[in-house]
């Protein structure tokens, strides 16, 4: 067996250790990486930036803790931008562990805005969280008729009608647009039902695993913007002028990707070497 | 009656929902909203089945002292703890309920999923081989995407990033669009088969 | 920053490390963290179903201020979907599982009925309409060529998925172009997936780093805890490597 053949039979735990080592070292180092902004992310930023004070944005936080690494930075960046422009945010969470993620994001951003700008974000007046209901398809359809069909009260069991910001807000036609941050297949329901049936303007923030699959909807105009994974979150943070966790993670991504590419190349060199050896015999 | 009535229910409700899309009349909208409300309530009870199933399996495991039965106690303890924190100590705003979600649930869930990073690294090393022309095309396409935000290859607005964006917006788009159209046609065909009673697997066995 | 927050964060880091221990090999720490994840997750979801599901959609509608035994004072008709939901529970009964077919049929009928017009419109019609637009050379020569490639790519990929005709001759050639286009798409997804998966691990490392920073920013006591825990982890790793090497040395050498 030659060197590359032996290398291709390496215990996978050494592969894990190399990847872990590269990530840990680059997390601890201090350096920055420039980020290129793509038009599909800029479209979402420009949409939120162009809203007037007092307009409404529906933020659908449909992800679980397993996707929080990519999704939370998107949620935080959009919420900070919207609240800075006095845009009112209606939040919903249609994934099983989504309510906890949405509430965590809401409470953290409310604290952060108060700390950094002195502005008081009041629950019920500037932002509200309607909570979770099962079967996203049915809930999305029902919100297109009336939010109160699925959400007669909010996450904290306060009647929806008693929330000041929900006065006069009946369905999607009363909000400027929907930004969906999700790691689940519920995005198909939002596109088909919210945009397809009710023509609600829809932008999506998706995990890296799913992002490449939704470019056809971007081109056909069914979604007007797309943030793909950690890169999308970092692009949004750059646009918003608030570099945070995603920007920090992207510099680590560069090196981790180089390690993966080296693994692929080494594996293929070993494969070609053993194939040539087999042919020579 | 055990099969006929469910088939009739599927046919009537399916036909109504399909036709309702084209009928904006007030009475059609009224029934539509009524159906939405009922569906959510029925769905909540259906989801409770999953929780009950977990409890049943864990209790049986403990009773029979099956392999790894002590971990079934951990499952039930976690379930009971969350329910006690909320039901006895302040509902959804309970300090312990929120803390357990933020400091137990989130790290566990996130870490479970983060293990996939290592598996993909291992897969890249051991399995991602350019054995055939098709595999080579897949490999090159993956490498173009993986290098698109690498600043050490040249300026970020340069040819590599442009090529990656073109791959996403043209051949990737074409491939995914074909898949989407295929899925759409399949879903419509399956839905029609279910409504017409040709497809009956949802009923289970007698 | 309080002791309380630091202790909770220490618990979360400990659970993170227990889960990561699976990468070395399956062990009781990992099994414990996996079981805790399942239990806490199920408990969390049950509470959400009760407080966000059952209470506002059923309880608050049936009882609008009257005594608990007086169901007819509120919107009593909501008891009907509740009873239908309870019928679902007969799924587990060996003799009476047929009863669960009624509410399931209701659900299946609604889901399929809704799907027909909307999926046809959104997945098929709108995607086809966008594909079959004339190539737009006014946006540039590359844009026009790209539009032509998209049209050809979609048609060839659809040909690949048509298995009722043998993939031979001209049909086979078109399907072959289709599979190449599909491979480019899958490669793009793989490239994005790598970034997605690694993001999750980076976030965990960032959390552990923040915990260490938290310990070192606080009092000497916190720093001591961080140091002890870090040393314990390193010691365990060294002991395990030594055990592994000892076992390997004790293995009989192959003939």
**Residue C225: which of C20, C1, C29, C10 has the closest Cα?**
C10
**Residue C194: which of A257, A38, B171, A182 has the closest Cα?**
A257
pLDDT tens digits, one per residue of A122-131: 999 999 999 9
Mean pLDDT of chain A: 92
Judged by average pLDDT, the poorest of A273-277, B20-24, C172-176 is A273-277
pLDDT of residue C1: 62
Average pLDDT over residues B82-87: 95
Segments making up each domain of chain C, as ranges:
134-201
CB contact under 8 A, B106 and A68: yes
Q: Does residue C232 have a pLDDT over 90?
A: no
Report the C-alpha gap between C86 and C95 in whole angstroms: 16
Residues β-bridged to residue A159: A153
Interstrand relation of A56-62 and A202-206 (parallel, antiparallel or unpaired): unpaired
Beta-carbon contacts of residue B118 (< 8 Å; ≥ 6 apart): A15, A16, A19, A20, C23, C201
Q: Does residue B202 have a pLDDT over 50?
A: yes
CB contact under 8 A, B129 and A156: no
Which of B32, B105, B127 faces A65 most closely, judged by CB atoms?
B105
pLDDT tens digits, one per residue of C112-140: 999 999 999 999 999 999 998 878 888 88
Model confidence band, residue A280 (pLDDT cutoffs 50, 70, 90): low
- A62 by DSSP, 3-state: which? strand
pLDDT tens digits, one per residue of A177-221: 999 999 999 999 999 999 999 999 999 999 999 999 999 999 999
* Chain A with chain C: Cβ pairs closer than 8 A: 134
- A57 by DSSP, 3-state: which? strand
pLDDT of residue C218: 61
CB within 8 Å of chain C, chain B residues 65-104:
68, 71-72, 74-83, 86-87, 91-92, 97, 99-104
Give the count of alpha carbons within 13 A of C115, CB side only: 21
CB contact under 8 A, A150 and B176: no
Between residues B25 and A153, the one the model is more confident about: A153
* Count of other CB atoms within 10 angstroms of residue A84: 16
Report the C-alpha gap between B61 and B71 in whole angstroms: 9
CB contact under 8 A, A104 and B102: yes
Question: Per CATH, the architecture of A39-243 is what?
Answer: 3-Layer(aba) Sandwich (3.40)
Between residues C46 and C95, the one the model is more confident about: C46
CB contact under 8 A, B143 and A261: yes
CB within 8 Å of chain C, chain A residues 117-136:
131-134
pLDDT of residue C237: 78
Report the C-alpha gap between A51 and A28 in whole angstroms: 39
Q: Which residue of B has its CA nearest to C188?
A: B142
**Residue A137: which of A199, A211, A62, A212 has the closest Cα?**
A62
Q: Does residue A172 have a pLDDT over 90?
A: yes
**Residue A71: which of C200, B107, B99 has the closest Cα?**
C200
pLDDT of residue B104: 96
Interstrand relation of A127-129 and A88-92 (parallel, antiparallel or unpaired): parallel
> Residue B83 in contact with residue B72, Cβ under 8 Å?
no
CB contact under 8 A, C192 and A253: no
CB contact under 8 A, C40 and B71: no
pLDDT tens digits, one per residue of B168-183: 999 999 999 999 999 9
> Residue B47 in contact with residue A134, Cβ under 8 Å?
yes
Q: Does residue C255 have a pLDDT over 50?
A: no
Give the count of alpha carbons within 13 A of C198, CB side only: 35
DSSP-derived secondary structure for A187-247: HHHIIIIIIHHH---EEEEE-HHHHGGGHHHHHHTSSSEEEEHHHHHHHHHHHHT---HHH
Q: Does residue B155 have a pLDDT over 70?
A: no
Pull the structure tokens for residue A274.
Answer: 């053993």
Q: Does residue C228 have a pLDDT over 80?
A: no
Average pLDDT over residues A140-153: 94
The helix or strand, by DSSP H or E, that contains position C38, with its residue range, turns out to be helix C28-48
Residue A56, phi then psi, degrees to nearest 5 = -115, 140
Helices (H), chain B: 4-20, 26-64, 69-88, 95-100, 106-126, 133-146, 159-169, 171-195
pLDDT tens digits, one per residue of C152-195: 999 999 999 988 888 889 999 999 999 999 999 999 999 999 99
> Residue A188 in contact with residue C99, Cβ under 8 Å?
no
Helices (H), chain A: 3-8, 12-28, 39-49, 68-84, 98-117, 136-145, 147-150, 186-189, 196-198, 208-211, 215-220, 229-240, 245-280
DSSP-derived secondary structure for B103-115: IIIHHHHHHHHHH
Q: Considering Cα of C216, then C221, then C222, then C225, what sign does the dihedral take? A: positive
CB contact under 8 A, B146 and A260: yes
**Residue B175: which of C163, C141, C177, A41 has the closest Cα?**
C177
Q: Does residue C253 have a pLDDT over 70?
A: no
Interstrand relation of A202-206 and A177-182 (parallel, antiparallel or unpaired): parallel
Q: Which residues of B fall within a CB distance of 8 Å from C191?
A: 141-146, 148
Beta-carbon contacts of residue A147 (< 8 Å; ≥ 6 apart): A90, A130, A160, A166, A169, A170, A171
* Count of other CB atoms within 10 angstroms of residue A30: 6
Which of B107, B116, B187 faces C12 most closely, judged by CB atoms?
B107
Average pLDDT over residues B159-163: 79
pLDDT tens digits, one per residue of B93-152: 999 999 999 999 999 999 999 999 999 999 988 888 888 999 999 999 999 999 888 877
Q: What percent of chain A has pLDDT over 90?
A: 82
> Residue B52 in contact with residue B71, Cβ under 8 Å?
no
Q: Which residue of A has its CA nearest to B120?
A: A260
Helices (H), C60-219: 60-62, 79-87, 101-119, 126-131, 141-160, 169-217
Beta-carbon contacts of residue A70 (< 8 Å; ≥ 6 apart): A183, A207, A208, A229, A230, A232, A233, A246, C196, C199, C200
Model confidence band, residue C244 (pLDDT cutoffs 50, 70, 90): confident
């Amino acid at each position: 067996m030659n060197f590359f053949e032996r290398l291709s039979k390496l215990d996978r735990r050494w592969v894990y250790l190399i990847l872990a080592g590269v990530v840990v070292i680059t997390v601890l180092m201090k350096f920055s990486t420039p980020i290129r902004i793509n038009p599909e992310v800029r479209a979402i930023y420009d949409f939120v930036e162009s809203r007037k004070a007092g307009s409404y944005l529906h933020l659908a936080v449909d992800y679980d803790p397993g996707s929080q690494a990519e999704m939370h930075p998107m949620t935080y960046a959009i919420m900070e931008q919207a609240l800075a422009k006095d845009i009112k945010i209606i939040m919903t969470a249609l994934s099983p562990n989504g309510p906890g993620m949405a509430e965590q994001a809401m409470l953290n951003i409310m604290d952060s805005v108060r700390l950094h700008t002195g502005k008081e974000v009041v629950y019920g007046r500037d932002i509200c969280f309607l909570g979770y209901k099962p079967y996203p398809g049915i809930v999305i359809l029902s919100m297109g008729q009336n939010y109160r069909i699925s959400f007669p009260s909010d996450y904290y069991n306060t009647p929806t009608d008693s929330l000041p910001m929900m006065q006069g807000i009946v369905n999607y036609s009363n909000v400027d647009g929907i930004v969906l941050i999700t790691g689940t297949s519920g995005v198909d329901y939002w596109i088909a039902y919210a945009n397809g049936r009710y023509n609600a303007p829809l932008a999506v923030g998706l995990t890296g695993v799913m992002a490449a699959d939704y470019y056809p909807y971007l081109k056909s105009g069914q979604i007007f913007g797309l943030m793909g994974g950690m890169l999308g979150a970092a692009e949004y943070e750059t646009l918003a002028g608030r570099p945070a966790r995603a920007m920090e993670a992207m510099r680590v991504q560069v090196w981790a990707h180089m390690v993966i590419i080296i693994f692929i190349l080494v594996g293929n060199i070993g494969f070609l070497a053993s194939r040539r050896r087999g042919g020579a015999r | 009656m055990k099969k006929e009535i469910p088939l009739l229910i599927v046919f009537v409700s399916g036909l109504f929902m399909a036709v309702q899309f084209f009928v904006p009349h007030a009475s059609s909208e009224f029934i539509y909203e009524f159906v939405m409300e009922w569906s959510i309530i029925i769905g909540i009870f259906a989801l409770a089945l999953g929780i009950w199933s977990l409890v049943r399996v864990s209790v049986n495991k403990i009773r029979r002292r099956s392999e790894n039965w002590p971990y079934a106690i951990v499952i039930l303890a976690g379930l009971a703890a969350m329910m006690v924190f909320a039901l006895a100590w302040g509902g959804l705003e309970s300090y312990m309920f929120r803390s357990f979600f933020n400091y137990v649930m989130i790290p566990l869930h996130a870490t479970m999923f983060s293990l996939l990073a290592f598996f993909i690294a291992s897969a890249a090393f051991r399995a991602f081989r350019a054995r055939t022309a098709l595999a080579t095309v897949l490999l090159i396409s993956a490498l173009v995407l993986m290098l698109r935000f690498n600043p050490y290859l040249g300026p970020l607005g340069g040819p590599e990033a442009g090529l990656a964006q073109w791959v996403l917006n043209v051949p990737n788009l074409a491939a995914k669009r074909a898949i989407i159209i295929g899925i759409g046609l399949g879903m419509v065909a399956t839905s029609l088969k279910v409504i017409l009673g040709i497809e009956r697997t949802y009923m289970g066995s007698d | 920053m309080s002791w309380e927050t630091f202790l909770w964060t220490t618990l979360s880091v400990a659970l993170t490390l227990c889960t990561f221990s699976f990468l070395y090999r399956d062990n009781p720490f990992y099994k414990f963290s996996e079981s805790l994840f399942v239990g806490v997750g199920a408990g969390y979801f049950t509470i959400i179903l009760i407080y966000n599901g059952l209470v506002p959609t059923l309880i608050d509608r049936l009882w609008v201020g009257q005594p608990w035994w007086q169901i007819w004072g509120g919107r009593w008709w909501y008891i009907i979907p509740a009873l239908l939901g309870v019928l679902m529970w007969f799924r587990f009964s060996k003799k009476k599982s047929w009863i669960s077919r009624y509410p399931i049929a209701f659900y299946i009928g609604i889901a399929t009925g809704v799907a027909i017009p909307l999926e046809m419109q959104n997945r098929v019609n709108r995607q086809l309409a966008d594909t079959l637009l004339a190539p737009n050379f006014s946006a540039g020569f590359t844009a026009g060529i790209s539009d032509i490639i998209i049209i050809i790519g979609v048609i060839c990929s659809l040909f690949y998925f048509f298995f009722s005709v043998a993939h031979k001759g001209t049909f086979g050639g078109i399907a072959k172009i289709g599979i190449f286009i599909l491979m480019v798409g899958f490669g793009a997804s793989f490239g994005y997936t790598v970034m997605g998966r690694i993001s999750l691990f980076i976030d965990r490392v960032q959390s552990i780093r923040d915990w260490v920073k938290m310990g070192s920013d606080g009092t000497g006591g916190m720093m001591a805890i961080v140091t002890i825990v870090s040393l314990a982890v390193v010691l365990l790793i060294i002991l395990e490597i030594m055990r592994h090497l000892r076992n390997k040395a004790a293995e009989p050498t192959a003939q």
